[in-house]
Structure 1
Amino acid sequence: MRNRGTGLVMGALAAATAMAVTAGCSSTMDGAATKSPSTSAAVGAVEASQLDHGNYAIEPRQPLGEAGKAEVGALLEAQRLANYVTGPWEVDPALATPVPFGMGPGSLALPGDTKMLSVFFLPEQFAAMNLAGYVNGFATARSLPKQRILRNTVLRFTDAAAASAAATSMAQAMLAHPDPLPPPIPSSVIAIPGHPESQAVAHPFTDPESNQTWYLVDSFTARGPYVLMVRAQQGGPPEPSAALIAKTLDLQGPAIDKYNLVDPAQFATVPRDPSGLLARAIPVRKGSGTPNSNITLDPHGLLTFDGDPVNSAKMYSDAGVDLGVSAGDFVYRAKDAGAATGLVNAMVTTMQADGPVNETVPNLPGSHCQKAAAGTSVTCVASADRYAYQINAHTLKDAQQQAAAQYLLLTAK
Structure 2
Amino acid sequence: MTRSYLGRSIAAAAAVTAVLAGCTVDGQPSSATFTDPAVQVDALDTGDYPTRARAPFGRAVTDPERVEATRMAQFVLAPFEVNPDLTHGQWPVGELDDAAGIGRAVVPGAADIPANAEFVTGFVTTADNGDANVGAARHLLRHAVLKYRSPADASAAAEQMSAAVAEIDNKPIVPLDGAPDTRTVIQDFGASTAILAVTAHDSYVFFDRYYGPTTQFRSGESLVRMANAITQQKIFIDEFTPTPDGETPLIDPDAILIYALPFTAAYLRANPDSPDRGAVYGPRGIAHTSTDPVTDFQVLTRIGSDANAVENSAVFRADTAEGARTYLDSFLGSNRTRGWTGADSPPGLPTATCQKHPTSQAHSCALTVGRYGAQVIGNTKTDAHQQASAQYLILTTADQRAH
TM range (shorter): 0.7 to 0.9
Q: Deviations over 1:193-225 (max 9, x none)?
A: 3012101111123xxxxxx53222211111100
Equivalent pair of 1:88/1:141 in contact (CA under 8 Å): yes
Equivalent pair of 1:368/1:382 in contact (CA under 8 Å): yes
The Cα of 1:85 is off from its aligned counterpart by 0.7
Q: Deviations over 1:14-61 (max 9, x none)?
A: xxxxxxxxxxxxxxxxxxxxxx97834887632222211111111222
Equivalent pair of 1:88/1:150 in contact (CA under 8 Å): yes
The residue aligned with 2:55 is 62
Equivalent pair of 1:129/1:170 in contact (CA under 8 Å): no
Q: Give, in whole Å, the separation in 2 of the partners of 1:159 and 1:233.
A: 30
Q: Does 1:334 align with 2:333?
A: no
Q: How does 1:88-107 map to 2 (within 5 A)?
A: 88-101=79-92, 107=93
Equivalent pair of 1:156/1:225 in contact (CA under 8 Å): yes
Out of 387, 398, 404, the position equivalent to 2:372 is 387
1:109 counterpart letter in structure 2: E
The residue aligned with 2:12 is none
2:236 counterpart letter in structure 1: A
User: Secondary structure at the residue paired with 1:391?
Assistant: strand
Q: Give, in whole Å, the separation in 2 of the partners of 1:372 and 1:411.
A: 28
1:344 counterpart letter in structure 2: L
The residue aligned with 1:265 is 246
Q: Give, in whole Å, the separation in 1 of the partners of 2:76 and 2:57.
A: 26
The Cα of 1:302 is off from its aligned counterpart by 2.3
2:180 counterpart letter in structure 1: P
Equivalent pair of 1:232/1:242 in contact (CA under 8 Å): no
Equivalent pair of 2:89/2:288 in contact (CA under 8 Å): no
Equivalent pair of 1:52/1:404 in contact (CA under 8 Å): yes
The residue aligned with 2:20 is none
Percent identical pairs in the alignment equals: 27
Q: Which moved more, 1:192-201 or 1:354-363?
A: 354-363
Q: Which moved more, 1:144-153 or 1:117-126?
A: 117-126
2:53 counterpart letter in structure 1: P
Q: How does 1:363-382 map to 2 (within 5 A)?
A: 363-375=348-360, 377-382=362-367
Q: Does 1:187 align with 2:177?
A: no
Q: Which moved more, 1:54-63 or 1:307-316?
A: 307-316
Query: Does the C-alpha gap of structure 1 residues 123 and 317 become closer, same or farther in structure 2, counting only changes over 3 Å?
Result: closer
Under a length normalisation based on structure 2, what TM-score does the superposition of the two structures give?
0.82
The residue aligned with 1:248 is 229
Q: Give, in whole Å, the separation in 2 of the partners of 1:233 and 1:244.
A: 11
Q: Deviations over 1:350-395 (max 9, x none)?
A: 2122235311223223322222222153222111221111212222
The residue aligned with 2:67 is 76
Q: Does 1:143 align with 2:124?
A: no
The residue aligned with 2:42 is 49
Query: Does the C-alpha gap of structure 1 residues 126 and 165 become closer, same or farther in structure 2, counting only changes over 3 Å?
Result: same
The residue aligned with 1:225 is 203
Q: Give, in whole Å, the separation in 2 of the partners of 1:291 and 1:202.
A: 37
Under a length normalisation based on structure 1, what TM-score does the superposition of the two structures give?
0.80
Q: Does 1:349 align with 2:328?
A: no
The residue aligned with 1:118 is 103
Equivalent pair of 2:355/2:363 in contact (CA under 8 Å): yes
Q: Give, in whole Å, the separation in 2 of the partners of 1:273 and 1:318.
A: 22
Q: Give, in whole Å, the separation in 2 of the partners of 1:176 and 1:3.
A: 38
1:68 counterpart letter in structure 2: V
Q: Structure 2: which 5+ runs fail to align?
A: 6-23, 30-34, 399-403
What RMSD over aligned residues (CA atoms) do the two structures have, in Å?
A: 2.5
The residue aligned with 1:4 is 3
Q: Does 1:85 align with 2:76?
A: yes
1:133 counterpart letter in structure 2: E
The Cα of 1:122 is off from its aligned counterpart by 5.3
Equivalent pair of 2:307/2:317 in contact (CA under 8 Å): yes
User: Secondary structure at the residue paired with 1:163?
Assistant: helix
The residue aligned with 2:154 is 163
Q: Structure 1: which 5+ runs fail to align?
A: 7-35, 102-106, 179-185, 206-211
The Cα of 1:236 is off from its aligned counterpart by 1.6
Q: Give, in whole Å, the separation in 2 of the partners of 1:349 and 1:68.
A: 41
Out of 207, 213, 230, the position equivalent to 2:191 is 213
Q: Deviations over 1:126-180 (max 9, x none)?
A: 43563131000111111112120012211000000000000000000011122xx
The Cα of 1:125 is off from its aligned counterpart by 4.9
Equivalent pair of 2:256/2:307 in contact (CA under 8 Å): no
Q: Deviations over 1:77-99 (max 9, x none)?
A: 11100111110111222211101
Q: Does 1:302 align with 2:281?
A: no
Q: Give, in whole Å, the separation in 2 of the partners of 1:47 and 1:54.
A: 16
Q: Which moved more, 1:250-259 or 1:379-388?
A: 379-388
